[in-house]
Amino acid sequence: MGTMHLAAQFSLNALIFLPILAAVVIWALPKHVERMAQQVALWVGMVTLALGAFLWVLGQPQLVGSAETTDTPTLVGETEFAWINAVIHDQQENEVGGVRVRYHVGLDPISSPLMLLTALLVPLSVACSFASIKTRVREYYAWMMALTAGMFGVFAARDLLLFYIFFEFTLVPLYFLIGIWGGSDRRYAANKFFIYTFVGSVITFAGILYLAIRASFLESAGTGLGVIDFDLIKLSSLPLENGLTATEQSLLFLAFFAGFAIKVPFFPLHTWLPLAHTEAPTAGSVLLAGVLLKLGTYGFLRFSLPMVPLGAVQWASVMGALAVAGIIYGALCSWVQRDVKKLVAYSSVSHLGFCMLGMFSLLPFGLSGSVLYMINHGLSTAALFLIVGMIYERYHTRDVNQIGGLARQMPVMAFFLVFFVLSSVGLPGLNGFVSEFTVLFAAFNSTDHLGPSFGTLGATGILLGAIYLLYMTGKVLFGPLKEPANTPDLSAGLTRDLTVREITILTPLAVLCIVLGVAPRLVTDTLDPVLADERVPYSVLNRIRQARDSQIHLVTQTASPTSATRPKSEPLADHVAGPVAVGEVIFGES
């Protein structure tokens, strides 16, 4: 344990600080070795991938062989020290007030797959920029590296304020990536993206402050003589009875919603996304779709659900309705797009709707399906954006009316495009199917919050998804050959079909799509126990169950104050009796 733990600590912190260091180095490179920026960034990306893979393996008990014996699950690479330490002591050296913000990082099975996804997409998105970025090269890769550090920080943070800092920090590099290297409307897109997300997250910030202060009052029994800290575990295990009231939780949920839902993006708040995606450079789109949108869903899962579970339970139906609306609206918007990139962007709105639908079923397999969905969406949508970028580099257009029949010109690209489209629409055997099926299954079964009507309406999204994606594929790949004049433009060292570099970028994603399609248990086997761990009072599903119990308690108290017996929540006991693996839902008990 000793050396392994040290190695894990080192790797995790290197994931955050190495890219920052790389950003500084790249920025400081002299002008005449500008091309080295690409190499440095790529190498740093490869190193983070290796470190990420190492950390992920450490988090797999069946691979490492160290079965959990303690009641508190350990975090991979856990590192902790006080960063902001403005604590007041009394004469007896007791802490009687002040504030403490910790630098506390560590990975658990919820965050480690998302971390690995980030570690995979970073080198790929660096590699895909080689041909397209020709101006201000050093700055570009420096911002890419800064963004990388922010993304790793978000997933590793175990302190709510540290999370928030990384969450906000990702705005700045992406703002520059879109605003400097984006398309023709880039400045408007960057400003809209920044202001939209900033508005949401300052409201979230007020919620975080309120929650932390309230928690210190609860902890010190109302005297207020406690240190205000933002520890994840402490804030996720506040008492639900005689603690935060239902109204407070409801409002806090809305405050968290403001920041996270804009990032997801949830249906009525999604309008920044298509614009940002369309204007962003390919690498920006890849990271935006692959990782940054997940910050919102991850935020819901990691913070909203366990910290204000009563609020989550109260709002679950509304969230479900918005998710379904997003699924259908996003799909219909995709259908009518002529710009392929915009089409994929709207499809993200639709797909993230599925993810949220699964999450707010508040069922074990709904939650794990939702995490799986995050990863699958990250893989296939990132790949689609990459392919769109490759087409754009050759034809300088993304208009489906101007290009067509490319399958004959670019058979390898056609193979990959069809492959990832199929993965995205949920062809059984590929990754999309498992998660799509699970979240819809959860929506059908979540009789408390969602129910069959949500499932049915959500399922139409699959149908629509197949229509718009296959329709686009057909127009781009098949039929008579259509190419704009003077194209393909091969001046940047490209070939007519995909180059070796481009094939190398797409292949790992394709392999992972198959792997996760066949063996989703790679993710869910470690994920399910953590989501529903009986021994861990702050695990998401325990908190949800507590919230339901306290809600029932409240209802019975108001309805019949004399009845002392508290009805057991029978259907809930079934749901959380044991972790139900996604694999079992789909393939049955083996």
Partner 1 sequence: MPNLGPAISLSAFVPELILSAVGCLVLLLGVAQRESVRRSIPAIAITGIIATIIVIFWRYTNANDVGGGFAFEPLAYFVRLSGLVLGVLLTLAAWAQPRDAERGEFFAMMLFSLTGLLLVAPAANLVLLFVALELVSIPTYVLVTLSRSNLKALEAGTKYFYLGAMSAALMAYGFSFLYGVSGTIAIDAEMASAIQDALAGRSGALPQALAVVGLLTSLAGLLFKVAAVPMHFYIGDVYQGAANAVAGLLGFVPKLAGMIALIKLLALTSVWYNHDEALFWVLWVVAALSMTVGNVLALMQSNVKRMLAYSGIAHSGYMMVALLAGPAAGGGMLGNGIAAILYYSVIYGIANLGAFAILGVLRVRGQACEHVRDIAGLLRREPGLALLMALAMFTLMGLPPTPGFWGKMGLFGSALHVAQHASSGPAGPQATWLTVLVIIGVVNSAIAAAYYLRVAAAVLLHDSDEPAEADQRLEFAGMGAFMCGFLLLVFSFYPNALLNSGTSAALRFEEAPAAITAAAPPPAAESSAR
The footprint of partner 1 (CB under 8 A) covers 84-88, 96-99, 164-165, 168-169, 171-172, 176, 179-180, 186-187, 190-191, 194-195, 198-199, 202-203, 205-206, 209-210, 213-214, 217, 222, 224-225, 228
Are residues 290 and 298 in contact, defined by beta-carbon separation less than 8 angstroms? Answer: no
- Measure the CA–CA gap between 296 and 459, rounded to whole angstroms: 23
> What is the residue-wise DSSP string for 420-480?
HHHHHHT-BTBHHHHHHHHHHHHHHH-TTTS-HHHHHHHHHHHHHHHHHHHHHHHHHHSSS
**Minimum separation from the CB atom of position 203 to partner 1 (A):** 6
Supply the minimum distance, in Å, between the C-beta of residue 221 and partner 1: 11
* Cβ 349 vs Cβ 329: under 8 Å: yes
CB closer to partner 1 out of 211 and 505: 211
Alpha-carbon span 106 to 122, nearest angstrom:
20
CA dihedral 122→127→130→135, nearest 10 degrees, is 0
- Report, in Å, the least distance between residue 186 CB and partner 1: 8
Min CB(538)–partner 1 separation in Å: 23
Q: Cβ closer to partner 1: 134 or 338?
A: 134
Residue type, 298: Y
Least Å distance between CB 362 and partner 1? 28
Q: 150, 3, 17: which is closest to 77 by C-alpha?
A: 3
Cβ distance to partner 1 smaller for residue 251 or 519: 251
Q: Which two tokens stand for residue 521?
A: 């248990």
CB 190 to partner 1: min, Å: 7
Say if CB 356 and CB 488 are below 8 A apart: no
Toward partner 1, which CB reaches closer, 225 or 325?
225
Phi and psi angles of residue 564, each rounded to the nearest 5 degrees, phi first:
-85, -25
Closest separation in Å from C-beta 149 to partner 1: 12
CB-nearer residue toward partner 1: 165 or 321: 165
- Of residues 117 and 154, the one with the C-beta less far from partner 1: 154
By beta-carbon proximity to partner 1, the closer residue of 281 and 330 is 281
CB 281 within 8 A of CB 141: no
Smallest separation, CB 226 to partner 1 (Å) = 8
Three-state DSSP string of 222-243: CCCCCCEECEHHHHCCCCCCCC
For residues 216, 217, 223, 226, the Cα torsion angle rounded to the nearest 10 degrees is 0
Taking the complex as a whole, the smallest distance from the CB of residue 210 to partner 1 amounts, in Å, to: 5
> Would you call the peptide bond into 73 cis, given omega within 30 degrees of 0 as the criterion?
no
Smallest distance, Å, CB 96 to partner 1? 7
245 versus 499: smaller Cβ distance to partner 1 = 245
Residue among 198 and 478 whose Cβ is closer to partner 1:
198
What strand order describes the sheet that includes 228-229?
A: 76-89, 95-107, 228-229
- The phi, psi pair for 104, rounded to 5°, reads -130, 110
Q: State which residue, 191 or 402, has the beta carbon closest to partner 1.
A: 191
Burial tier of 312 (Cβ tally within 10 Å: 0-12, 13-18, 19+) = buried
